[in-house]
Amino acid sequence: MGRFGWTLDMIDPAELIGNAFIALALAYPLVLGYAILRDLYKFDNFFIGSIYTAGLYLHVLQLPGQGDVVDITLYWGLIFSIVVLALLINRVVLFSLNGARAEKPLIASLGLYFSFQQLFSVVFGDAVLFTNTGRLAGFADLSNWTPEGRHAVAIIISLGAAAVFAIVARGTEIGMRMRAVADSPGLAAALRIDVNRVQVTGAVIAICLVLAASMLAAPESGAHPMAGFGPMLLAFPVCMLGGSPFFPQFHAVLAAVVFGQQLLAAYIPGEWVQSALYAFVLLALLSRPVGRFRWKR
């Protein structure tokens, strides 16, 4: 053990790979949703962190009914309300700034994130909540499952999300329209593609992915006002380096970053891992503000 808590003990490769797959499964839906919004609207939308935090609170708070029809109906009603509210806020406050200088939407999204952080702090307090964690789509409480069972569910859902996204992006008309808008909104509009409709569709998909990520993460992390900050810190450099989520290089970069985090966590304390990620963000910004690699479309 070193002066700062570092260790050079040998680690079990199987355990490292297993932890990395679990971390990747938990992070993938949120990072993908963040990247879709970023690609379609051309700015980094940190309000996604507030949507994620709201989803965590939904999945840890006690709802009446304990899994009966009332509980399930209320759960899906709240999910629908979060989606609609997020769309309205994004449309009115953020997406109305689309076309402005890049820093204006970014500052607006950061302002929204910190405003909702304060709101969550006032309403729920600053403590981490683990009340009824793990509600799986309103039908089952994952908190009663073994960790292995919860992790298997997370991996299956993330793999399913990746497969469905690949099919939609490459094999459907809406996927091709989303790729066209992501590549060049002006050219897409010239080709008579309804850019606004495509962006709203992408926003709905992104918000649903973020809420799915909160469902998977709730049994592991609970809910607290700052819960959305860490995932945003992961999503930002992945998008900076990986480019568009419509191409496989993005997913490779995400996997590499997550595996790198887990490798660092095996040798150094958790607070140093977070500091290393801060440094990674800084290096990404210094290398090239618009992305390190020029992926072919």
**What is the pLDDT at residue 291?**
46
**What is the pLDDT at residue 100?**
59
**What is the pLDDT at residue 31?**
94
**What is the pLDDT at residue 273?**
72
Domain ranges of the chain: 29-225
**What is the pLDDT at residue 275?**
74
Question: Phi and psi for 135 in degrees, rounded to 5?
Answer: -65, 120
State how far the Cα of 115 lies from the Cα of 47, in Å rounded to an integer. 10
Check residue 128 and report its DSSP letter. P
**Class of residue 225 by CB neighbours under 10 A (exposed 0-12, middle 13-18, buried 19+):** buried
Tokens 């006032």, residue located: 122
Query: Model pTM?
Result: 0.85
**What is the pLDDT at residue 75?**
82
**What is the pLDDT at residue 206?**
93
Q: Which residues of the chain have pLDDT under 70?
A: 1-12, 62-70, 94-102, 131-143, 270-271, 274, 278, 280-281, 284-285, 287-297
State how far the Cα of 263 lies from the Cα of 272, in Å rounded to an integer. 12
Tokens 């700034």, residue located: 97
Question: In a 3-state reduction of DSSP, which class is residue 244?
Answer: coil
CA angle 194, 161, 248 (to 5 degrees): 75
**What is the pLDDT at residue 138?**
58
Give the amino acid at 39: D
**What is the pLDDT at residue 297?**
45
- Report the 10 Å Cβ neighbour count for 24: 21
**What is the pLDDT at residue 1?**
45
